[in-house]
Chain A
Amino acid sequence: MSGGEDIPSSAAADPIDEPRPATYYHLARAVLYREYLIFVRYPANAIGGIVVALFFFGVLFYGGRLLAGQALTDSLSGIIVGYFLWTLSVGAYSSVSNDIGSEVQWGTLERHITTPFGFAPVALFKGVAKVIRTFLTSAVVLAVMLLLTGTRLSLDPLTVVPVAGLAITSVLGLGFAAGGVTVLYKRIGNWLNLLQFGFVALISAPVLDAPWTRFLPLAHGSAMLQRAMVDGVRLWEFGLADIGLLVAVAAGYLLGGYVVFHYATRRARRLGVLGDY
């Protein structure tokens, strides 16, 4: 090695590090804290999302009242619950692919690929962090909707959070699959985003008339959330079968999405397109 003067060594005086391995707890803490920091330091993004969501609800509410009058007012509670769930679903669905897109833009994606935790687990943690963030913004949207319309709903957090959370976990699974496909086929990402409009159909699926639809993402959870928020049914008042199906659907789609993501990123490594945007 040639040339140049070195900084005088101070190694002997340095305290000796004893690095401890990070656990999944540390990973969760770091990812959540980073999400919080990005959230508060990019306030325009968060505020913009809330404003856009409220704008569309305003169009829906005032436009619908103009056209449908009393009919809309009668079903307003259900519409608000459905809209609340839809904003949550959109956030959950786009969490993984949007996060990958942001990391690419920031030049930090490779560092999340070359982590000993594994790319898929880190992406999952980041997706969950985004879902938590979405809960906060959707709660603001919900509060404004209730104030705007003068509607009253049952807002028991011990019921609403688990039911809504499990309902959108299935969508998080779809988002995972979409994120994986996006890693593989970059240009398909925008088309996959169109799927979020299909969530309207899933949220309003006729689970009573067509029970098979309960196995679709969101449908069963949406029906339970309607009962919880409109009819005031508490979590422990639901039947075990209802809760079991809610958990099973959530776990099934999340696992499926995770597997698709895993194999898609593996194929992307093979094709040499992982992180190559």
Chain B
Amino acid sequence: MARSAANDRGGPRERDDSRRDGAGRDDAGPDAPADSSPPALAIEGVSKRFGSGEASVLAVDDVSLTVERGSIVGLLGPNGAGKTTLIKCALGIVLPDAGSVRVFGTDVGDGRRAAYANVDAMLEGARNDYWRLTVRENLRYFATIAGVDPDSVQARHDRLLDRLELTAKADTPVRDLSRGMKQKVSLASVLAGGADLVFLDEPTLGLDVESSRTLRRELRRLAREEGLTIVLSSHDMGVIEDVCDRVVMMANGRIVADDTVGALLSGTERDVVRVVSADIDDRVVATLRERFDVRAVEAGPGAAGRDGRGSTAVEVAAAGDALYDLMDALREAGVTVEDVRTVRPELEEVFVDLTGMESGGSGTVGDDRTAAEPRGRSS
């Protein structure tokens, strides 16, 4: 993909062509740069305090973070964790008190305008473009603002509209579109200038299932095929798990976890198995409790057995030999197992553990879930 500007005609846009080739990123992985060229984003020791004296707030506290080109990094944290301030520091909208931010090797503090040639952001969701202008007018305007002659990227705009299923609405004022379409137009306008690094804040907020899937697909494709680097902030754990190579969790202005989704999940307890049987009754449960760590017992329709009713599910901590012991115990108790599977912890649980947040509390993920709902997902 040759998105680079020839840059032989002056103007504000200077780009590093060396990062254009996204080939090989699938092999290299997000944490293994394919070459020695600088990462898309390098944040080193950034701190930011707002106000002074006792009323001051340390929004970001000595944060260091590197994002390799072509990767998608999820930024998670409860409200007030410092995510937005960190993003604004990365964008140069807020100057940090200490530390440095480099975008493709360009120091944002020293060469902010040069850095802006390679970066764009969707910070306002659907409110990120002009609603009185048509979809295509927005793309052309924001491509220009991003430093690209819009006539030279007309084909790119057509592809963007096509892939985001907006072609039929290209000449419609944005205000006449649905919420989901407005959100997609926002993303399209951010991508219209061909930035190599984009920050997306809640890109799927308010989207229906199909629109969200379309947008996620496009984000993955852009990263894989075009080498686009994405820093994505969202409270939607499904989006983070589905799209991101890597997750950075923040709390109280600091990074509390930085790893791949898989590694974060595998780092948590995975030795819980869920057994479903119509033969599990109070006596069996009591027997199991004597020998094992029984985490949960569910009865009724939520644990339907072969006959669709009357089954009970128990979740027991049992790994390795303990799993064989559990099966033996169930056989001895005369239990015919209908279903057994390991319980995979959800990212939300990891998030809650690491950030010390209460589920359902302000600023946590999954605020619409009740605390009584079972957590974890069987796999």
Contacts and interface: CB of A to CB of B under 8 A. Distances in A.
Contacts of B10: 21, 23
Contact of B131 (A11, A106, A275): A106
B48 A272 contact: yes
Nearest to B5: A21
A270 B243 CA distance: 33
A22 B149 contact: yes
Interface residues of B, number: 79
Given A34-B133, A116-B146, A274-B93, A107 B128 contact: yes
Contacts of B220: 1, 4, 6
Given A30-B145, A106-B131, A269-B95, A19 B3 contact: yes
Given A2-B241, A20-B9, A115-B116, A108 B129 contact: yes
A19 B91 contact: no
A111 B120 contact: yes
B12 A30 contact: no
Interface stretch (A35-43, A52-60, A129-137, A191-199): A35-43
Contacts of B146: 22, 115-116
Interface in B159-180: 159, 163, 173
B1 to A, nearest CB: 7
Contacts of A21: 5-7, 9-14, 147-149
Given A21-B7, A114-B93, A116-B117, A34 B141 contact: yes
Interface string B96-133: 00000000000000000110110111011101111111
Contacts of B153: 17, 19
Given A9-B221, A111-B142, A117-B12, A19 B5 contact: yes
Contact of A22 (B94, B144, B213): B144
Given A33-B141, A115-B116, 13 more contacts: A5-B217, A6-B220, A21-B5, A21-B6, A21-B148, A107-B124, A111-B121, A113-B91, A114-B120, A115-B147, A117-B113, A269-B93, A272-B95
Given A14-B159, A34-B141, A117-B12, A107 B127 contact: yes
B281 interface: no
B358 interface: no
A22 B13 contact: yes
Contacts of B252: none
Given A30-B140, A111-B120, A6 B221 contact: yes
Contacts of B5: 19-21
A24 interface: yes
Main secondary structure of the interface of B (DSSP, over half): mixed
Given A7-B163, A272-B85, A17 B2 contact: yes
A17 B152 CA distance: 7
A19 B116 contact: no
B72 interface: yes
A4 B204 CA distance: 15
Contacts of B242: 2-4
Interface in B29-80: 48, 50, 59, 72
A122 B145 CA distance: 8
- Of all A-B residue pairs in the complex, the 10 with the closest CB atoms, nearest first, are A107-B127, A107-B124, A21-B11, A30-B144, A21-B13, A116-B12, A116-B147, A20-B152, A116-B117, A20-B149
